[in-house]
Structure formats: structure tokens, C-alpha cells
């Protein structure tokens, strides 16, 4: 019965998980609340990639996985998949966004004004090492501007379309449950516009950056100009069964418009995601801008970048190589050894081996 005695799979699994959890200690509601309060940008990144907007669940996922980002996103996606789709919110329009930050690199000034908002863009990146010596580092109070910038602003692309620089996007007439949902139907190519934008919205930040950067650096055809980058809050407007519309709350969103000259017109690339994540939307909009007419198999082709920036799929496949592959390997060994033996026999007596 020696064979049976070696069957330790279940116990090994249990103990390996205990080892992982032991390092992080007890997860308390306070720890989750602290993660949520202290790491808003990490929370945003995770919520975007999970395509699930819930700061508490995102903080819990980070606590539970010790900050292993791919695991945290997978936890949230697996939770999300069990949730019913109760309602489809009204479309969010750019003009209606409650805007915190909104900048354009295309013009010195834009209708509605440049709003710098919260950013580290011009910070000197110096570590506050005094904190490690026991001091605290508290933010200086923000001084309000003499004249507040408007909460809502039009998009720069809308102005360009009015001036004949850009052919405005064709508006999609689909509403409610008819809007294609990439989590409930397969992604096929050429992809539906909704599927493309949804896939980019939930793509893995690092993956989008790598491919977007490749396009920006020269492997794409179009050089992006940031037409508009916006960090905002959007009202989630849903319809009650009685028929009344109401806002169920606000979610943080980021969006980027990038443009490039194509003949006498500007071409537009667009991306938006849940949470504030500037790098992701600029890189994703660059990919969108470059995808039209991109050669098959190039990094800026839609099929290429949508497949390869899907973080749950790419990370899962990458770590699956840790699984045993000895059957597959044995099968290859068999073919290799036989081919080698054939070759050796041929070299020994060429006429016999044929």
C-alpha cells in the first residue's frame, strides 16, 4: 500500500496556505480600513483591473493577498462573477463628469481651463526619510483658488469636432441590456467597440503600459498628443422599477483622449477606466489610436493587445507553468530520443537506415 501512503496532496495544500497567511498575521477590519484610507491609488488600480468598483472589497482583497496584485484582482473578479446584474446605469457623458483634474497638452488653454488638480507630476521625488526617524509627515493645507474652476467641462474633442478638425464619434444607439458585455459574451474579432473599450478598461496596467509604450516609442504608426486627460467622479444613474431615475452613488473615473494627425484630420484614441489611473488610460488610448489598420500580428493590432493585456489570463497562464508537465514532457522525450537514435543509426550505416 506504499502507493496510497504517499498521497499527501490535500494536507500539503492546507499547510502551504497556512504558511502564506502566517506571514501576514491577523486581518482585522482596522487593517482593511487603513489600507483603504492610505492607498487610494492602489485601490483604484485594483478596482479598475477587477472591473468592480468597491473600495472596501478592494482593500480586503489587498489585505487577504498581502498585496499580491494579480491575486487581489483575481479574488475580486471571482467574486464579481457571482453577482447578479441588477441594472444598467445611464451612459456617463464627458460634459457631466464632476472633474477634479483635467489637462490638455494640445492647447495652451482650453474652454473650461486647465485644472491641475491632485498630482505628483511636478513633485521632486525625494523620500521622506525623516518619517523613519520618528517624525511625522503631514500635508500642508490646500489653499483654495480665488476663483473655483467649473465642476463640469466639455471635452476638448467636442471643440475640435465643431471646428472640423475631427470627425466626431458616431454615437452608439444601443442601451441597457443590449450593450455588449465582454464579461458575458466571448471577445471575437474584429471586436465590437464596446468590447474593445471594456477590455482596455479592465486591462492590466503594466501590460497596457508595455504595449502602449512600444507604440509610443516607434512601433506604432501614430504619435499621440494628449488631447485631454481627466480625473473625475461620475454619477451612477439607474432607473428604479417605478420608473424614477436616481443616482446610486459616485465612482472615480479616469479618461484620456489622444489625437494624431492623419491627412487633414485628427484621429482620436480614447480610453476610460474605473478609478484614477493616468498611466493606464494614456497608454490604452495610444493603443486605441494605433489600432486602426494596424498590421496583423503587430503589437498595435487589436487582437494582439487585447489578448495580451488581460491580466487575469496572462498572469494565470504564466504561473500555470509551475504545474507538473511530466506527461507532456515524457511525450516529447520519446520523440527526441527516437529521432536521435535514427540519426545515429543513419550515420553508422547510411544505406541501412533508410
CB closer to other proteins out of 205 and 254: 205
Sign of the alpha-carbon torsion through 48, 257, 187, 233: positive
38 near other proteins (CB under 8 A)? no
DSSP category for residue 353:
H
Contact predicate 155/257, CB 8 Å: yes
Residues numbered 284 to 303 that lie near other proteins (CB under 8 A) are 296-297, 303
Judged by CB under 8 A, the number of residues near other proteins is: 60
Cα separation, 145 vs 139, in Å, equals 18
- In the numeric block, the cell 455588449 is attached to 180
Whichever of 263 and 297 has its CB closer to other proteins, that residue is 297
Among 1, 132, 142, 146, binds other proteins (CB under 8 A): 1
178 contacts other proteins (rule: CB under 8 A) = no
Q: How far is the CB of 220 from other proteins (least distance, A)?
A: 18
Q: Which is nearer to other proteins, 123 or 323 (CB)?
A: 323
**258-264: Cβ within 8 A, 24+ apart:** 258/224, 258/225, 258/226, 258/227, 258/282, 258/285, 258/286, 258/289, 259/106, 259/157, 259/160, 259/166, 259/224, 259/225, 259/227, 259/289, 260/222, 260/223, 260/224, 260/225, 260/289, 262/222
Q: 280: closest CA among 217, 228, 209, 223?
A: 209
Pairing of strands 225-239, 98-103: antiparallel
Q: Which is nearer to other proteins, 124 or 320 (CB)?
A: 320
Tell me which of 24, 37, 56, 81 binds other proteins, using CB under 8 A: 81
173 contacts other proteins (rule: CB under 8 A): no
Residue 145 binds other proteins (CB under 8 A): no
Strand partners, 266: 166, 261
The single residue among 24, 78, 131, 248 that binds other proteins, judged by CB under 8 A, is: 78
Query: In the numeric block, which cell numbers belong to residue 231?
Result: 480625473
Cβ of residue 146: shortest distance to other proteins, in angstroms?
47
49 vs 228, beta carbon nearer other proteins: 49
Nearest distance from C-beta of residue 271 to other proteins, angstroms: 22
Q: Which residues bind other proteins (CB under 8 A)?
A: 1-4, 6-10, 12-13, 74-75, 77-78, 80-82, 84, 183-190, 241-242, 296-297, 303, 307, 312-313, 315-320, 323-336, 338-339, 342-343, 346
Amino acid at each position: 500500500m506504499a502507493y496510497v501512503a504517499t498521497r499527501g496532496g490535500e494536507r500539503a495544500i492546507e499547510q502551504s496556505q497556512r504558511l502564506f497567511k502566517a506571514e501576514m498575521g491577523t486581518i482585522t477590519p482596522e487593517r482593511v480600513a487603513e489600507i483603504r484610507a492610505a492607498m487610494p491609488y492602489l485601490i483604484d488600480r485594483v478596482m479598475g483591473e477587477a472591473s468592480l468598483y468597491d473600495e472596501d472589497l478592494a482593500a480586503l482583497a489587498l489585505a487577504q493577498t498581502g498585496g499580491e496584485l494579480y491575486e487581489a484582482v483575481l479574488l475580486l473578479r471571482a467574486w464579481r462573477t457571482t453577482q447578479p446584474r441588477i441594472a444598467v446605469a445611464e451612459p456617463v457623458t464627458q460634459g457631466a463628469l464632476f472633474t477634479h483634474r483635467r489637462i490638455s497638452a494640445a492647447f495652451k488653454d482650453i474652454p473650461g481651463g486647465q485644472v491641475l488638480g491632485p498630482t505628483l507630476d511636478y513633485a521632486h521625488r525625494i523620500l521622506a526619510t525623516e518619517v523613519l526617524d520618528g517624525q511625522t509627515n503631514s500635508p500642508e493645507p490646500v489653499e483654495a483658488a480665488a476663483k473655483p474652476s467649473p465642476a463640469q467641462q466639455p471635452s476638448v474633442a467636442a471643440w475640435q469636432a465643431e471646428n472640423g478638425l475631427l470627425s466626431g464619434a458616431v454615437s452608439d444607439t444601443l442601451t441597457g441590456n443590449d450593450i455588449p458585455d465582454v464579461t458575458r459574451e466571448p471577445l471575437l474579432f474584429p471586436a465590437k467597440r464596446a468590447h474593445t473599450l471594456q477590455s482596455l478598461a479592465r486591462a492590466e496596467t503594466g501590460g497596457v503600459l508595455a504595449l502602449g509604450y512600444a507604440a509610443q516609442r516607434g512601433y506604432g504608426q501614430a504619435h499621440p498628443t494628449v488631447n485631454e486627460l481627466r480625473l473625475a467622479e461620475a454619477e451612477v444613474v439607474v432607473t428604479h422599477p417605478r420608473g424614477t431615475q436616481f443616482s446610486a452613488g459616485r465612482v472615480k473615473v479616469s479618461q484620456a483622449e489622444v489625437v494624431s494627425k492623419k491627412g487633414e484630420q485628427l484621429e482620436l484614441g480614447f480610453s476610460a477606466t474605473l478609478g484614477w489611473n493616468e498611466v493606464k488610460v494614456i497608454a490604452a488610448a495610444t493603443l486605441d489610436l494605433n489600432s486602426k489598420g494596424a498590421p496583423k500580428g503587430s503589437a498595435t493590432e487589436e487582437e494582439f493587445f487585447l489578448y495580451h493585456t488581460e491580466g487575469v489570463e496572462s498572469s494565470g497562464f504564466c504561473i500555470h507553468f509551475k504545474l507538473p508537465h511530466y506527461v507532456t514532457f515524457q511525450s516529447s522525450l520519446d520523440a527526441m530520443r527516437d529521432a536521435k537514435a535514427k540519426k545515429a543509426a543513419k550515420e553508422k550505416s547510411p544505406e541501412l537506415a533508410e
